Amino acid sequence: MSGPTGDWHTPARRHLRFCPEDEWGQCPDEPDWQTVPIVGDGLRLGATRRCFRPDTQYGGGRRSVHLLSVLEAAGSLVTRPWPQLAALLLDMALCRTSGELASYCMDLYTPSASRRALGAVAERLELTASGRTGDMLLSLSLRGRSVEANDTLAEADFDYSAIDPVPFRFARAVVQLQGQVVTGVEQLSIRVENGLAAGPSCTGLIAYLAAGQRSISVELRKLADDAALHEALREGGTLSLSMTASHPLGHVLSLALPALHPTSVDEEAEPDELARAGVNLEAGIDEAGDDITYELTLEE
């Protein structure tokens, strides 16, 4: 009986580490690697190529022309807000220097095809907190300059010892709307879109990735237990929302969106369930010019 051949492996043997780049698309000479745990099947970062095909019947009945041109790195990463990683992961999408996002060099180890993505920039960040599971997930959508093979990687290069075993959890978080604690939150999603603009193709690679205008949207699903959301929507004002998550080891992560514009409230009232309200909000800026802020306190 024959079995699988080649470097077959389980997801437990797939590892990720990354470091900030000084120059876009260039791995630093002395990289400051940070290993990041992958949640489930949560890493889909790889190479993509644009393909041109003539839109006429060039060549007859069989398509004979496929011109593969510009190489790009693209994909997603799903992880959790571990205390030692939360700032790094949030900064990837939220922190800008002179209007530009930082770029990262990412090493992905797999026993079969280890590779390195260069110039990775966070196109989108989604923080999803679920009241049913009590977990929080951080999903990053990434775009980068290139992907290359990296056969020098070994499993021993990935060190998780500096990361606390337990991430921040929604089960230990408090959500406040207009300064009032909101109970019965089933789902909270904060989505940050960085509006990345890719430069032109230049000798097979994109010339740049520029951050565009940031847009932040929030979805909050909770029990329909008061009229505050409806009232805010009718009046057309703004709401402030904050979430503070505490960690068993004493770390605290606080996220605040000071000026949210409610755009719609959807209610669900199934016969055999409690009535729920889902509100969609878009973030504006407050008087200080902030749309989203976070604060992380790590206990030594």
Partner 1 sequence: MAGGYFDDGTGAFELGAHVFATPTMARRSVEIAPAGRAARVLDLGGGVLRVCVTAQRLRDNMGDAERWIYDRVHALAESAPGSLACEDNQGRRAVFAQSVCVWAVGRVRGFRFCDLHLEFLGPESEPEPEWGALPEPPEVYADTTTAQDYAAGGVTLGVGGEMRIEMTRSYPLREIPRARGARTRGPCSGALLRFVVTADLLDREQNLASALAELGRSIGPGPVDLTGNGSAFPGVLLRSLQPAHTDWSHTRFDAEFIQEL
Is 149 an interacting residue with respect to partner 1 (CB under 8 A)? no
Is 174 an interacting residue with respect to partner 1 (CB under 8 A)? no
- Which of 203, 270, 289, 300 touches partner 1 by CB under 8 A? 203
In terms of CB distance, is 89 or 122 closer to partner 1? 122
Q: Which two tokens stand for residue 3?
A: 């079995």
- Which of 207, 249, 274, 285 touches partner 1 by CB under 8 A? 207
- Taking CB under 8 A as the binding criterion, the range among 64-72, 83-91, 243-251, 269-277 that sits at the site for partner 1 is 64-72
Is 201 an interacting residue with respect to partner 1 (CB under 8 A)? yes
- Which of 28, 54, 134, 237 touches partner 1 by CB under 8 A? 54
Structural contact between residues 27 and 116, judged by C-beta atoms closer than 8 angstroms: yes
d(CA 45, CA 75): 4
Structural contact between residues 154 and 109, judged by C-beta atoms closer than 8 angstroms: yes
Is 56 an interacting residue with respect to partner 1 (CB under 8 A)? yes
- Which pairs from 284-287 meet CB under 8 Å and 24+ separation? 284/238, 284/259, 284/260, 285/258, 285/259, 286/258, 286/259
**Sign of the Cα pseudo-torsion (22, 23, 27, 30, in order):** negative
User: Total number of residues binding partner 1 (CB under 8 A)?
Assistant: 25
Quickly tell me which residue has 């909101």 as its tokens.
182
Is 200 an interacting residue with respect to partner 1 (CB under 8 A)? yes
Interface residues toward partner 1, by CB under 8 A: 52-54, 56-61, 65, 67, 69, 195, 197-203, 207-208, 210, 212-213
